Structure 1
């Protein structure tokens, strides 16, 4: 692909964190008396901002109840530090090679700013990115606001960037502003779900991603 900027989702795309997020949500909610949900329900909301995720998991939840779950979730989630070993094999090299080729790299994530800042440092990936945007400072996926802010930063059109993600929310967000996307199958949603959003490609290995990106 001949694009100037590559935008990455974080959880499930760059970092193997999906199970830890699901476990933390399950533990936080059930300890506060909320019903245990199927594991797939917790996985399916990964990529959304926390407010939107909890509203989908527990319809009708109040802001007070949501705050209690979020506080307990943070306690469990931050008990485990993201390390370079949690980065999917080969993805750090993809970032380095993109930068070496003169392409911009950025992150658009449903994580909070606090969560992303911590992970950028502890994973070792932080220096690769020019700009990062989080759900709690813009709008949650699939609203494309964070993508619009990123391309405005670079001074480019949506067609000159590509969004890479593992969820329907990533690809839906890109489709809404005419940005090409690439779905990866090593995270939350599989090919049949990702295909609904007309991605440029769907890949199931990092070498395949490198090929699509022309690395």
Structure 2
């Protein structure tokens, strides 16, 4: 019997489905200015998109105290979710692609460096809650590239890594999948460039999310 190449498709959010990099960078720079910290470049912040907020701050400001880390986390969240809140757009065709995949019988999940509150706000703004069977956020588990959030998704869905595909725009997504023995597919339009992604040997690197259904359809189907 022929079947889909994967049953569960696990998407990163920022940089894969949501075009949020400019907003993330702006809020982080606003937060650091508010606390009197040296401002990081947009490139350095963009490079960290996909990691948990705590991990980002530890990498950007390794010399600050734990108290300053907590203050910066709180300041960033207030900037992103309150003072500077805006609906970040989805990449062109993302909604239609997700609906097409769901209608083709795939089950969809999210593994993101966002907080639960941040993800739920954006899913609600785009009315996407019903498209995903599961999600895991960085404030509920360990940060990428640790594979724990993928393991938790697999456990909750009662499936194995070889039945799932991770889809993301950063090396953190690809490393996380590799760390659990899961196939990964990269997209080239997000935070990390194509050359950097290809170094981690994803099964493919697509230039638009809209290419995903056709790519999956063309994969050799495995016996069930």
Structure 1 residue 115 displacement after superposition: 0.8
Partner Cα distance (2:200, 2:111) in 1: 17
Structure 1 runs (4+) deviating above 6 angstroms are none
Q: Which residue of 2 aligns with 1:80?
A: 85
Unaligned runs of at least 5 residues, structure 1: none
Structure 1 residue 41 displacement after superposition: 0.4
Q: Which residue of 1 aligns with 2:136?
A: 133
Unaligned runs of at least 5 residues, structure 2: 219-224
What is the root-mean-square deviation of aligned Cα atoms in Å? 1.4
Partner Cα distance (2:85, 2:111) in 1: 22
Partner Cα distance (1:61, 1:147) in 2: 30
**What number of residue pairs does the alignment pair up?**
213
Normalization by structure 1: what TM-score? Answer: 0.94
Partner Cα distance (1:137, 1:49) in 2: 10
* Residue correspondence of structure 1 range 182-197 to structure 2 within 5 A: 182-197=185-200
Q: Which residue of 1 aligns with 2:176?
A: 173
Structure 1 residue 117 displacement after superposition: 1.2
Structure 1 residue 61 displacement after superposition: 2.2
84, 97, 101: which is aligned to 1:98? Answer: 101
Structure 1 residue 209 displacement after superposition: 2.3
Normalization by structure 2: what TM-score? Answer: 0.91
In the alignment, is residue 202 of structure 1 matched against residue 205 of structure 2? yes
121, 127, 147: which is aligned to 1:144? Answer: 147
Q: Which residue of 1 aligns with 2:11?
A: 8
Determine helix, strand or coil for the equivalent of 1:7.
Answer: strand
23, 29, 50: which is aligned to 1:47? Answer: 50
From the CA coordinates, give the structure whose radius of gyration is larger. Answer: 2
In the alignment, is residue 118 of structure 1 matched against residue 121 of structure 2? yes
